[in-house]
Structure 1
Amino acid sequence: MKSREPMVMPSTSYKWFGLVLLMLIGLTNYMDRLSISILQVPIKADLGLTDTQLGAITGLSFSLVYTLAAIPIARMSDRRSPKLVIIICLIAWNALTMLCGLAESFLALAILRMGVAIGEAGCAPTSQALIAGYFPPHQRGRAIAMWQMVFPLGSLIGIFGSGVLSAALGWRQTFFVLGGVGLLVVPLVLAFLKEPPRAEPPQAAGAPIEPGDGTMKVLRALLTLRGYRLLLAAGFMAAIPLNAVLNWNAPFYGRSYSLPIQEVSYVVALTAGVGGILGMIGGGFVSDILGRRDQRWYCWFPAIAVGVAPAFAMAQFLLAPSLSLSLLAGVICAILLNCWMPPQAALGQLVVNPADRALSAACIVVTAGLGAAAGPFLTGILSDMIAGWTLDSDNALAIALTLVSLTALPASLLFVLSSVYLREDIARAQAHQMYAG
């Protein structure tokens, strides 16, 4: 099925250079975001926080604000300058990360993390929209998969580096270092990031879609696509266990295996980084290969991956008799829980007009962000509740993580259901009928 997009693709050399530059920007994003997962260990001791409060800082307060900010910032990127949006957001989230080092209470840290979330909300939708402008449809799955590797790479660098820096300097100074490193990227973006030519909006059923069409009109049009709605729901459910495991791995290994923070940083960087990178590569490249035979593999492959993940989560947190076996199960679990993101993002770009790419990506970010908010927060609440019943806080967290991982099962079912309508949705988008009326 050939695309009718009128976008003029940039040169082969620049599109790969642009992708690398966008990956560098995204890397600082996820380094700042995921550093909190390891720094919460000394933060809890210093500020005297509960698991519920930690879940609110790492998940709820950050992700809810992130999801609220994503759509308006993405729409600004679609209508104005994506480069300017990225520069402003890059400065904002790194400056506020530095200010997190000054927090003296739960409330102050939560508010500052909300500010970081607003800045970071502009990164993923704008970057994915630019990538969709750089690459033709048959290369987008792997291109977006390569960009999304910043998630596990940033996790690896952020978690490992934060653990080492925290052990040497303390958690407050670690925030200063992370934010300062991110600000060094700003001059590179100013000098080298290019925007692809904007495509002229297509016409649908004789009615033109002008660049000024309202956001709600486009959202309503997108949400008439049944497969797209199910795809968003699948991403929400899949994001719950992914972010629960990612944010609570460090406390789990610290409590269950009595590891000091520097060793915890090695362990969590291994599971989140290596497992995440392999999952992103597999999700993007395998879905592209299988999708050539049948586009429904963009849904079937993530359905299989997330459906199997809870078994390995149970092995990691409850059944493994040793640290090495727990880590092995954790790496496999991370691979499976990361596979769904590249094919979902690629599908989100196939069912939308070029002028609305960032908005479509933002919808995916919003629903996944809601899952990211729910996962760590729900885990913290369950951990505190189970600890109150059993008086065993170490095993309480392991049980809570295992229970939350089961949300991957309905995610798997939703991916399968989305595949039923996928080809119909793509055909409607390419015929520009989704905007009719």
Structure 2
Amino acid sequence: MAVLATAPREAHAIPAVWSLRALLTIGFLGVTAGIQMSDRGLQAILLSAIQHSFAVSDATIGALQGLAGVLVGSAVAVPLARLADRLSRKRVLIGLIAAWAALMMLSAVAPSFPLFFVGRAASGVTEFAMIPIVYSMIPDLAPERHRVTANLGFAALMAAGASAGFYFGEAIVAAANALVPCAIEPWRKAMLLLSLAGLPLLLLGLFVSDPPRRAAADAVDTGGSLGLFLRARWQAVGLFVGVAGSLMSAVQALNPLIALALERRFGADLGPIGHALGIVTLLTSIGCLPVAGFLDRTLRRRFGLAARPLIMGACALAAIPFAALLIIVDDVDHALLMVGSFLFVTCTANALVPTMLQDLTPATLRARSFAIWSFVVSIFCAVGPLIAGSLSDLALHGRLLEAIAVTAIPALILSAGCAMRSVLAAARAGESSPAGAAARD
């Protein structure tokens, strides 16, 4: 994809070398995003208890994991990202950390499911608003030649946090039972305990860098107009959303519901499932990053701008057999193997998405562009668990693992199809543009 950027009136050069403060800032942002994402893993482990407390159906739980967890959060994150494009990104981030901690506490004490749903949706706003801001800051902190590495490093820290919510879910519940004196259900205590992580993050956030927005010397001026940018790049943006959105729909059909599906299908205990999914999530989310980096470097020399959509399409096709095998697995170990394989190939594809979007979007619109992308893709993400939960209720008589597979496979096929069109479009653009030759260097 060709790079289209907007030059600020006072353009700052892209940093040539790392600074210690830039490294520490990216590390802090990764840890903070990881801790925020860990509440999703913890909630996935606690779904059975939450469902029992509020006496709701699988479809309602699917809506919680999709609509509240993804769609609502990413929608409201768009105006916050617009604010970050105009004001201090550091101040906005500190405000989001404080809001996340407060909303976690409110969710933990919600007396009814509608209030719990609202609290989790509002908490999702803070998480989804933070990630676009961070990805808008990384090109201003990292030297250009290390930008992919910085993106992957941030993703690794975020993935470690997400997996920790799975892996340490049982330990968090046990610690919360011992430390929280309130006479409330254990899952509520666990959420209260996790919310306390916001306090040290707020203090450390005061010392991170707030970098100026930087633009390349050959940046094209769009006048700061999001509409002008979208009109100029509508086809590339549409294909990008088709590839990433469909892929995320398949991933989210599995990821937030898999703990409940395995517990129900195989009668497994919460602790072993949580530990296994924590390890699987960590290994696949982090293990895919060097693979993605290697494939990007290797294939970009040959295919130029077409390399990244090519990688995504190939990974989407590779994930289809693993999703299909979930229908016929006969024990939990084989199911976990299929889940791990599915997540590894889909995570490999998704690892390059932030870099692709940074290449595509203007510097002064970057936070908004990431937030809007997150919202559009979150529609696909919300569809995944909602369809899987509804299929389980209405057609498959509670066979949630089969419903996950039936939902994921068509989404993967659609993603691969959009990727192929994106490869062809990027190849044509590379042949007719100097940017195509530059991408191979």
TM category, shorter: 0.7 to 0.9
Contact kept? 1:237, 1:410, Cα under 8 Å: yes
Out of 269, 273, 280, the position equivalent to 2:278 is 269
Q: Which residue of 2 aligns with 1:188?
A: 204
Is residue 2:12 matched to residue 1:9?
no
Aligned residue in 2 for 1:352: 361
Q: Runs of 4 or more off by more than 4 Å in structure 1?
A: 1-6, 200-205, 423-431
Structure 2 match to 1:434: none
- Who is 1:44 aligned against? 51
SS in 2 for 1:104: coil
| TM score, norm. by length of structure 1 | 0.87
Match of 1:421 in 2: 425
Measured at CA, do residues 190 and 129 of structure 1 come closer, stay the same or move farther in structure 2, by a change above 3 Å?
same
Does residue 397 in structure 1 map to residue 379 in structure 2? no
Cα distance in 1 between the residues matched to 2:297 and 2:26: 18
Taking structure 1 as reference, are residues 367 and 111 closer, same or farther at Cα in structure 2, changes over 3 Å only?
A: same
Q: Deviations over 1:81-122 (max 9, x none)?
A: 111111111111221012111122220111101110221222
Partner of residue 439, structure 2: none
- 1:30 matched residue in structure 2: 37
Q: CA deviation at 1:187?
A: 1.0
| Residue of structure 1 equivalent to 2:321 | 311
**1:214, distance to aligned residue in structure 2 (A):** 4.5
Residues 94 and 179 in structure 1, CA contact (< 8 A), matched pair in contact too = yes
**Which residue type is aligned with residue 400 of structure 2?**
L
Instruction: Read off the aligned partner of 2:211 and give its amino acid letter.
Output: P
Q: CA deviation at 1:324?
A: 2.1
Decide whether aligned partners of structure 1 residues 280 and 110 sit closer, same or farther in structure 2, where only a CA change above 3 A counts: farther
Q: Deviations over 1:378-404 (max 9, x none)?
A: 11111101244xxxx2xx212101111
Which has the larger displacement, 293-302 or 405-414?
293-302
Superposed displacement of residue 249, structure 1: 1.1
Describe the superposition over 1:294-328 as per-residue Cα deviations: whole angstroms up to 9, x where unpaired. 3311111111111111211222x222333222222
In the alignment, residue 106 of structure 1 is paired with which amino acid? F
- Which of 318, 333, 337 aligns to 1:324? It is 333
Q: Please list, as runs of the form range in 1=range in 2, the aligned pairs for 1:231-310 lying within 5 A after superposition.
A: 231-295=240-304, 296-310=306-320
CA contact (8 A) 1:280 1:335 kept: no
Does structure 1 conserve the Cα–Cα contact (< 8 Å) formed by 2:48 and 2:260? yes
Structure 2 stretches of 5 or more lacking a match?
178-185, 437-441
What displacement does 1:202 show?
7.9
Report the more deviating stretch, 244-253 or 277-286: 277-286
> Taking structure 2 as the reference length, what is the TM-score of the superposition?
0.87
Partner of 1:435 in structure 2? none
Per-residue Cα deviation, 1:18-59 (whole angstroms, up to 9, x for no partner): 221111111122112332211111111122111011011111
Query: 2: CA distance between counterparts of 1:262 and 1:300?
Result: 39
Residues 1:79 and 1:166: Cα distance change in structure 2 (over 3 Å) = same
Mapped to 1, the partners of 2:433 and 2:373 lie a distance apart of: 19
Cα gap change, 1:189/1:98 in structure 2, threshold over 3 Å: closer, same or farther? same
Question: What does the per-residue CA deviation read over 1:217-250, in whole Å, with 9 as the maximum and x for residues that have no partner?
Answer: 4444443xx2232011111101111112111111
Distance (Å, rounded) in 2 between the aligned partners of 1:113 and 1:179: 13
- Using the alignment, how far apart are the partners of 1:2 and 1:410 within structure 2? 26
Q: Does the CA-based 8 Å contact 1:57-1:109 persist in structure 2?
A: no
CA gap 1:190/1:154 in 2 versus in 1, 3 angstroms: same
Unaligned runs of 5+ in 1: 432-437
Residues 390-420 of structure 1, C-alpha deviations (whole Å, 9 max, x = no match): xxx2xx2121011111111111121221122
Q: 1:252 to 1:31 in 2, by over 3 A?
A: same
Structure 2 residue 177 is the aligned partner of structure 1 residue 171: no
Shift of 1:215: 4.0
Amino acid at match of 2:15: M
Q: Which moved more, 1:6-15 or 1:405-414?
A: 6-15
Q: How far 1:175 moved relative to its partner?
A: 0.5
Superposed CA RMSD in Å reads 2.7
Distance 1:408 1:377 in 2: 17
Please give the alpha-carbon distance, in whole angstroms, between the structure 2 residues aligned to 1:177 and 1:294.
Answer: 49
Letter aligned with residue 12 of structure 1: W
Contact conserved, 1:238 with 1:411, CA < 8 A, in 2?
Answer: yes
Contact map agreement 1:133 1:196 (CA 8 A) in 2? yes
Corresponding residue of 2:213: 198
Residues 41-190 of structure 1: matches in 2 within 5 Å? 41-166=48-173, 169=177, 170-190=186-206
